[in-house]
Structure 1
């Protein structure tokens, strides 16, 4: 089943849902391979009509392109996935990527080549590598900024972001916090997210929602839970603010280890993104 309300044909689409069920570098609780299917399933109960924007989601020209089947070679998979997303951008279609582990964001960034990456996340994800793997989900923001450390992979997909804004981050290694001190990274802790407002000017933006940015009480179905996180409403408000500036979106790190709370949140945030983007 496709994402509910994503009824547009590919040729008529302004947005396209793409599942990316990559699940190879999860460091604690695996299961992100089930994320795209669960997000679609737990969005079935949502109403099509949105009172705030006076839009029907089904009128927003959203197409569900299905999943890009994942395989074990993450770099090879990201190259292929990035090419698929770049094809959408060439047709002026905004990609809506459903993970899958957070590593898939690297493909979204490379395909859309934004000026700014905005991430809702509990973790900085600024490691140069994790357990010897530079393409771990724990290094995705670093890869989105600095590219491939070997300068060999993902070369055909596009560029990197000029800066990153990480909203809700509350943990990281000492080296990550040192990397975060550089001018191209802004970290907004959970207690300051409510007062944050974007200042993008004419910059293009890619928005990534790691569901572990939410407090575990809100979204326990994720691989690496981190207490003292964001409320669902705070995440929604960020999505509404950023969406009008965005060239791409993803919701990642949903697994199958809860009763659907994480998937429902991710699906609702995807709808909020589309409705706010279309209204903006």
Structure 2
């Protein structure tokens, strides 16, 4: 496995660590999220090291690639193990950059980060208590995040069950529909966790994902959210990239991960 391009820092010198989490057991339409970490690394190879907006180089920002945490078929056990690895990074002052895998891996990321607010770019509400009898389905990720965070902000959501919309109407959830994301501003106090489900993008931009949902976000809208939220973040993940396209989803995901690092580092300079 080649490391994420530009992730050249040693573990004991890292400010950020890429962690692959190729869990792919509850995907309900197009499987392949297990290939997400490798594809994101592969399709990020062409990006320039230098970022003009922040006048910085990715290789100077202390990014380490910790490899993948190999997944197995017991989701609860895997998430517990993954949480431990991410918590170890947090204890050392390292910001985890978790790359899935299905959205269920966000549960481990949020538990390890213990944020005040969970911010998510996603086509789906993911507020189900269970899906097909599975309480650890990828369709339950935001519901589980609310067991840790005080609030969830879901940006770009455009579909959900009646029960999910009822849960979304409660005071601890804010849903920003796609047409309002461009005007949204991040103004929450405390620590944030940012989860980027690549299906938040319109499938015309990122067809390589498990459950495509039309009428979604443009890449620049997603980029602007990442830039706005990153400085407040104690954790980040990118999920639901699979191998069902020619690299569009992986390239977008890899670019958004880099945008997170540039914006977070600038905010903490």
Give the CA deviation at 1:144: 1.2
Give the equivalent residue in structure 1 for 2:191: 204
Match of 2:233 among 227, 230, 246: 246
Distance 1:197 1:12 in 2: 33
Match of 1:192 among 180, 191, 197: 180
**TM-score if structure 1 supplies the norm length?**
0.95
Match of 2:158 among 142, 162, 170: 170
Give the equivalent residue in structure 2 for 1:156: none
Give the CA deviation at 1:52: 0.4
Equivalences, count: 266
Match of 1:225 among 202, 212, 219: 212
Match of 1:180 among 168, 172, 194: 168
1:57-206 matches, within 5 Å, as 57-146=58-147, 160-201=148-189, 203-206=190-193
Provide Cα deviations, 1:135-191, integer angstroms capped at 9, x if missing partner: 000011001113xxxxxxxxxxxxx11110000000000000000010000000000
Distance 1:5 1:276 in 2: 16
Distance 1:100 1:226 in 2: 18
Q: Which aligned segments of 4 or more residues in structure 1 are displaced greater than 4 angstroms?
A: none
Q: Secondary structure of 1:89's match?
A: helix
Give the CA deviation at 1:76: 0.3
Distance 2:248 2:222 in 1: 14
Distance 2:223 2:165 in 1: 26
Q: Secondary structure of 1:170's match?
A: coil
Provide Cα deviations, 1:58-114, integer angstroms capped at 9, x if missing partner: 000000000000000001000000000000000000000000000000000000000
Distance 1:241 1:33 in 2: 29
Distance 1:243 1:144 in 2: 18
Q: Secondary structure of 1:207's match?
A: strand
Give the equivalent residue in structure 1 for 2:243: 256
Distance 1:171 1:241 in 2: 24
Gaps of 5+ in 2: none
**TM-score if structure 2 supplies the norm length?**
0.98
Give the CA deviation at 1:26: 0.1
Gaps of 5+ in 1: 147-159
Task: Tell whether 2:10 aligns with 1:9.
Answer: yes
